Amino acid sequence: MQIIEGLDEPHLIRLVGQFYAKVRADTLLGPLFNRAITDWPTHLERLASFWSSVMLTTGRYKGQPLPAHMRHQAEITPEMFARWLALWEDSAGQCLPPDAATAIIVKAHRIADSLEMALFHLIPPRVPPRVPSPPVGG
């Protein structure tokens, strides 16, 4: 893997912290994230591990991103992905040197494309089972 200057653990931790501060305050994303995440310090640590694994190949992240997103499939919209990416791009540009920002933005777009495909095109939304109506006159 190519080493990218300015892409290291301290920069990733700073990026994740700054980005999620913006997400939490965002009018579109904040309500969902603030309902879904009950332990922000642990979540930020997990996401820093995720990006460390993705960008630095550290293998620190042991989770499964798709099931975590599927739990909120009914609430997530394509507009939310666009907003998430815009905030990520802004944060990466502020926290990382240009080459590092470009690399992590490109990777974020690929990951978002995969998640969007699964959430909106491959896996049907979970719908509660329909309870049959009682027979008429019975």
Q: Can you tell me the distance from the alpha carbon of 114 to that of 77, in angstroms, rounded to the nearest whole number?
A: 14
Sign of torsion over alpha carbons 99, 100, 101, 105 = positive
pLDDT value of position 107: 94
Quote the pLDDT of residue 81.
87
Contacts with 86 (C-beta within 8 Å, 6 or more apart), sequence order: none
Q: Looking at the domain assignment, is residue 70 inside a domain?
A: yes
15 in any annotated domain: yes
Q: What is the CATH number of the domain that holds 106?
A: 1.10.490.10
Using DSSP's 3-state secondary structure scheme, residue 107 falls into helix
Strands (E), 1-138: none
Q: Is residue 133 included in any domain, yes or no?
A: no
Q: Is residue 130 part of a domain?
A: no
Q: Are 55 and 103 in contact (CB under 8 A)?
A: yes
118 is a domain residue: yes
User: Domain containing 108: what range?
Assistant: 9-122
Residue 13 located in a structural domain: yes
Q: How far apart are CA 87 and CA 93, in angstroms?
A: 10
Q: Is residue 1 part of a domain?
A: no
For residue 62, the Cα-to-chain-centroid distance in whole angstroms is 15
8 burial (CB, 10 Å; 0-12 / 13-18 / 19+) is middle
21's tokens: 């501060």
pLDDT of 131 = 57
What is the chain's pLDDT, residue by residue, as a tens digit (138 residues)? Answer: 557 887 999 999 999 999 999 999 999 999 999 999 999 999 999 999 999 999 999 888 887 777 676 676 777 888 998 999 999 999 999 999 999 999 999 999 999 888 888 877 765 555 555 556 566 665
Q: What is the pLDDT of residue 77?
A: 83
Q: How many structural domains comprise the chain?
A: 1
Q: Look at residue 38 and tell me if it is in a domain.
A: yes
- pLDDT at position 27 is 97
